[in-house]
Amino acid sequence: MTEPAGSDAARAIARLELTGISKSYPSVVANSGISLRVMPGEIHAMLGENGAGKSTLMKIIYGVVRPDAGAIQWNGREVEITSPSAARRLGIGMVFQHFSLFETLTVAQNIALALDDSPDPGSLAPRIREVSGQYGLPIDPDRLVHSMSVGERQRVEIVRCLLQEPRLLIMDEPSSVLTPQAVEKLFESLRRLAAQGCSILYISHKLDEIQALCDRATVLRAGRVAGTANPREETARTLARMMIGRDLPTCRLTPREAGEIRLAVRDLSLPSSEPFGTDLKNVHLSVRAGEIVGIAGISGNGQAELLRVLSGEDPLADAGAVQLLGRAAGRMGPAQRRALGMRFVPEDRLGRGAVPEMSLAANALLTGYGEPLTHRGLIQFAQVRDFARRIIERFGVKAAGEQSLAGSLSGGNLQKFIVGRETLLQPKVLVVAQPTWGVDVGAAALIHQALVDLRDEGVAVLVVSEELEELFLICDRLAVLAGGRLSRAVRTSDTAVDEVGIWMSGNFATVPEADPVHAQGA
């Protein structure tokens, strides 16, 4: 490892300095003349909308992508980073937004494979436990990855990077899967890491987090640096304006009388089919027409299991356990539930919510396959293209066109496409998992507004999210899923973030007992 020599002299030298970095792809200029300075021990925020060029820039730093022009200096010396392993040799670690884990291997095996010296997974386990404990990211080294939720997988990625003792850590939205308390813990460890001289490049859409954690922020817009700022001297509003170039639309929830129950789960107990899954225990839930109900909680507490029961991907033996528009739907598969008017946004975008090797048009057909996109079993291609274009336009999906492959879109853009597809398919009941995962503030506002509009039109909306702020913004009622148990749903206006944070740890003692619709909590 290269330690900066001599303390005082080295202080003035940037850990990483980029000058005039440019990168173009056939259809888009991803980076144009970007300059960036990150000092040793600095926590530097990268802000920008989806497609602003953050990911490309990070890939350049990590050696995945070669820039067309520009220079990179590492500790004051010009370097050419030819590959991720070259980046790791320099001391650059990166936690990716899309996880590169082998599902059939254990956590320890995955981490051993990713380390350049490929140590024995068995001997690695104690170190994984130590690091994961130290940074408040509990993971079991012997667990198989395929049974883990998205949130848990991200923990594996973070721990993997920390094991390599990086001098610069690039983190792509690491907090999106953590509880407020865990985020605070992560921030503590990041600050500790920074105090030891490790620089951190922190990509996030959450402006409040950046204000709490970061020393400086560089804002990208359309591939260029839109400005740098001290986030503590800015407000969320001014930062957002730098990012999107205009004021952020705000979404407002007007009080409204909810209608009949459209989606209900009655006393559902379900042993998990996965060896490390979470059993669901006595889950009760109801969602009425014209309301948004939120389910808070960290991934891995039964979210995946509950969502698969709701979507019909795991049909139940007991038909009555799930009621959809007054019909016993427990045994119905996804197609039957869709036919009744249920729409669903899954938490996995690639491979589940969309087929990566197929075009956006084909992916519009994936769930939009009823009339008029098909007629008597035949695909109506003009209609399919129209529908795909409508999604792209309405939700500002950045893509070359409806023939682009879904896999070529950035995560946030694909998320916009999937949410757009499901909301434009005239739902009567909409179940959304992680609606704004990886999506920038501008697009998040758009998605939130789309969900609220559906609510105002009388659609029953269920949102499962790890982001409490989002839930408090758009939900009429809120329940917490922890350890496979679902709390009673309480009116969002009757509770606060801190209180819900406690429930998320599994302690439901303070959840109001009475029917939350009529009573004001304890």
Partner 1 sequence: MSILEPRAEPSRRMVLAAPLIAAVAMLLTGSLVFLALGQAPLHAFAVFFLEPLSTAYGVGELFLKATPLILCGVGLALAFRANVQNIGADGQLTMGAIAAGCVALAFPREHAFWLLPLMLLAGALAGMAWAAIPAFLRTRFHTNEILVSLMLVYVAYLLLSYLVHGPLRDPEGFNFPQSQMFAPAALLPLLVDGLRVNLAFPLSLVAVIASWFFCQRSLAGFRMQVSGMAPAAATYAGFSEKGNVWLAFLASGALAGIAGVGEVAGPIGQLQPTVSPGYGFAAIIVAYVGRLHPLGVLLASLLMSLLYLGGETAQINLQLPSAITGLFQGLLLFYLLAADVFIRYRLKPRRAVPVTATENAQAAAPQGSGA
Q: How far is the CB of 366 from partner 1 (least distance, A)?
A: 5
Could you tell me the smallest distance in angstroms from the CB atom of residue 341 to partner 1?
Answer: 13
By CB under 8 A, tell whether 93 contacts partner 1: no
Of 133, 333, 372, 401, the residue at the interface with partner 1 (CB under 8 A) is 333
Q: Which helix (H) or strand (E) holds 472?
A: helix 468-474
* CB proximity list for 118: less than 8 A, separation 6 or greater: 112
Among 43, 52, 58, 90, binds partner 1 (CB under 8 A): 90
Residue 9 or 497: the one with the smaller Cβ distance to partner 1 is 9
For residue 366, state whether it binds partner 1 (rule: CB under 8 A).
yes
Nearest to 388 by CA among 341, 353, 424, 356: 424
CA angle, 156 then 355 then 342, to 5°:
95
Residue 513 Cβ vs partner 1, minimum distance, rounded to whole Å: 37
Q: Is 378 in the site for partner 1 (CB under 8 A)?
A: yes
The span from the CA of 473 to the CA of 454, in Å, is: 15
Give the distance, in angstroms, between the CA of residue 498 and the centroid of all CA atoms in the same chain. Answer: 21
The Cβ-side half-sphere exposure at 92, using a 13 Å CA radius, reads: 26
358 binds partner 1 (CB under 8 A): yes
Q: How far is the CB of 205 from partner 1 (least distance, A)?
A: 25
- Nearest approach, Cβ of residue 490 and partner 1 (Å): 31
Q: Check binding of 251 to partner 1 (CB under 8 A).
A: no
∠ Cα 266 271 274 (to 5°): 130
Angle, CA of 281, 283 and 288, to the nearest 5°: 170
Number of residues that bind partner 1 (CB under 8 A): 45
Query: In terms of DSSP bridges, do strands 322-324 and 327-328 run parallel, antiparallel, or are they unpaired?
Result: antiparallel
Find the binder of partner 1 among 2, 282, 403, 510 (CB under 8 A).
Answer: 2
Indicate whether 369 belongs to the interface with partner 1 (CB under 8 A). Answer: yes
Residue 6 interacts with partner 1 (CB under 8 A): yes or no: no
Please name which of 96, 94, 182 lies closest in space to residue 139, comparing C-alpha atoms: 182
Task: Please say whether the beta carbons of 419 and 25 come within 8 A.
Answer: no
| Torsion sign over Cα 475, 478, 481, 482 | positive
Q: Which of 297, 353, 412, 435 binds partner 1 (CB under 8 A)?
A: 353
Between residue 41 and residue 80, which ones bind partner 1 under the rule CB under 8 A?
74-75, 77-80
The answer to whether 99 contacts partner 1 (rule: CB under 8 A) is no
Pick from 441, 444, 472, 494: nearest CA to 208: 441
113 binds partner 1 (CB under 8 A): no
Q: Quick one: which H or E segment has residue 480? A: strand 477-482
- Give the residue with the Cβ less far from partner 1, 278 or 367: 367
Compute, in degrees rounded to 10, the torsion defined by CA atoms 61, 63, 67, 70: 50
- Residue 27 as a binder of partner 1 (CB under 8 A): the answer is no
Half-sphere exposure of 199 (CA within 13 A, CB side): 23
Torsion angle defined by CA atoms of residues 208, 213, 218 and 223, in that order, rounded to the nearest 10 degrees: -70
Decide whether 349 or 477 has the Cβ nearer to partner 1.
Answer: 349
Residue 462 · residue 474 · CB < 8 Å: no
Closest CB to partner 1 among 258 and 361? 361
Is residue 249 involved in binding partner 1 (CB under 8 A)?
A: no
356 lines the binding site for partner 1 (CB under 8 A): yes
Q: Among the residues of 271-313, which ranges form H helices?
A: 303-311
In the complex, the smallest distance separating the C-beta of residue 364 from partner 1, rounded to whole angstroms, is 11
Q: Does 115 bind partner 1 (CB under 8 A)?
A: no
Which residues inside 393-432 make contact with partner 1, applying CB under 8 A?
A: 405, 408
Residue of the chain from 24, 228, 374, 493 that contacts partner 1 (CB under 8 A): 374
Q: Does 334 interact with partner 1 (rule: CB under 8 A)?
A: yes
311 interacts with partner 1 by CB under 8 A: yes
Binding part of the chain for partner 1, among 186-194, 266-274, 348-356, 423-431 by CB under 8 A, reads 348-356
Cβ closer to partner 1: 80 or 188?
Answer: 80
Whole-number minimum distance, CB 339 to partner 1, in Å? 8
Q: CA quadruple 337, 339, 342, 343: dihedral positive or negative?
A: positive
365 binds partner 1 (CB under 8 A): yes
Asked if residues 160 and 111 have their Cβ atoms less than 8 Å apart, the reply is: yes
What is the C-alpha to C-alpha distance for residues 122 and 106, in angstroms, rounded to an integer? 11
Smallest distance from partner 1 to CB 334, Å: 4
Pick one of 344, 395, 437, 472: the residue that binds partner 1 (CB under 8 A): 344
Q: By the criterion CB under 8 A, which residues form the site for partner 1?
A: 2, 25, 74-75, 77-83, 86, 89-90, 311-313, 333-338, 344, 346, 348, 351-358, 362, 365-367, 369, 374, 377-379, 405, 408
